[in-house]
Structure 1
Amino acid sequence: MARPLDHLVLPTADLEIARERLGRLGFTVAPRGVHPFGTENCCVYFEGGTFIEPLAVADEAAAAAAAKTGNVFVARDRFYRESFGPEGFSAVVFGSEDADDDHRRYVESGISAGDRLDFSRPFVDASGKSDIASFRLAFAAEPGMRGTFVFACQRVNAPRVDRAALQAHANGATGIAEIVAVSGDPAGMADFLRVAADADGSAANGSGILELPNARIATLTPDRYSQRFGLPCDPHGSLAFAAVVFSVRDITFLRTHLASGNIDHDMRGNRIVAAAAPGQGAAFIFEEHS
Structure 2
Amino acid sequence: MSAPRGIDHLVLPVCDLDAARATYSGLGFTCTPEAFHPFGTKNFLVQLQGAFLEVLAVHDRGLYPPQGPEDFSFPRFNDGFLARLGEGFSMLVMDSRDPGADRASFLDAGLKVHAPFSFGRDAVLPDGSSARVGFDLTFVSDPGLPDCGFFTCRQQHTPELFWKPDYQRHANTAHSVRSVVLAG
- After superposition, what is the alpha-carbon deviation per residue over 1:74-127, rounded to whole angstroms, capped at 9, x for unaligned? 232233223213x11101111100012111222232212421111011111222
Q: Extract unaligned runs of 5+ from structure 2.
A: none
Corresponding letter in the other structure for 2:17: L
**Paired residue secondary structure (1:28):** coil
Specify the alignment match of 1:68 in structure 2. Answer: 67
Specify the alignment match of 2:81 in structure 1. Answer: 80
**Paired residue secondary structure (2:181):** strand
Shift of 1:67: 5.3
Q: Kindly indicate whether residue 30 of structure 2 is the aligned counterpart of residue 28 of structure 1.
A: yes
Specify the alignment match of 1:175 in structure 2. Answer: 176
- After superposition, what is the alpha-carbon deviation per residue over 1:122-160, rounded to whole angstroms, capped at 9, x for unaligned? 111222121111111111221132231111101112364
- After superposition, what is the alpha-carbon deviation per residue over 1:214-250, rounded to whole angstroms, capped at 9, x for unaligned? xxxxxxxxxxxxxxxxxxxxxxxxxxxxxxxxxxxxx
**Paired residue secondary structure (1:145):** coil
Shift of 1:174: 1.1
User: Distance in 1 between the 2:125 and 2:72 partners?
Assistant: 27
Residues 76 and 104 of structure 1: CA distance in aligned 2, closer, same or farther (over 3 Å): farther
Q: Kindly indicate whether residue 1 of structure 2 is the aligned counterpart of residue 2 of structure 1.
A: no
Q: Kindly indicate whether residue 116 of structure 2 is the aligned counterpart of residue 127 of structure 1.
A: no
Q: Are 1:118 and 1:135, in contact at CA under 8 Å, matched by a contact in 2?
A: yes
Specify the alignment match of 1:44 in structure 2. Answer: 46
Specify the structure having the higher radius of gyration (Cα): 1
Specify the alignment match of 1:55 in structure 2. Answer: 56
Specify the alignment match of 1:142 in structure 2. Answer: 142
TM-score calculated relative to the size of structure 1 = 0.58
Specify the alignment match of 1:13 in structure 2. Answer: 15
For this pair of structures, how many residues does the alignment match? 179
User: Distance in 1 between the 2:66 and 2:146 partners?
Assistant: 16
Identical aligned residues as a percent: 34
User: Distance in 1 between the 2:79 and 2:102 partners?
Assistant: 23
Shift of 1:71: 4.2
Residues 134 and 122 of structure 1: CA distance in aligned 2, closer, same or farther (over 3 Å): same
Aligned runs of 1:1-290 on 2, under 5 Å? 1-47=3-49, 49-63=50-64, 66=65, 68-69=67-68, 70-85=71-86, 87-158=87-158, 160-161=160-161, 163-183=164-184
User: Distance in 2 between the 1:30 and 1:155 partners?
Assistant: 17
Corresponding letter in the other structure for 2:73: V
Higher relative contact order (CA 8 A, sep 6+): 2
Q: Extract unaligned runs of 5+ from structure 1.
A: 184-290
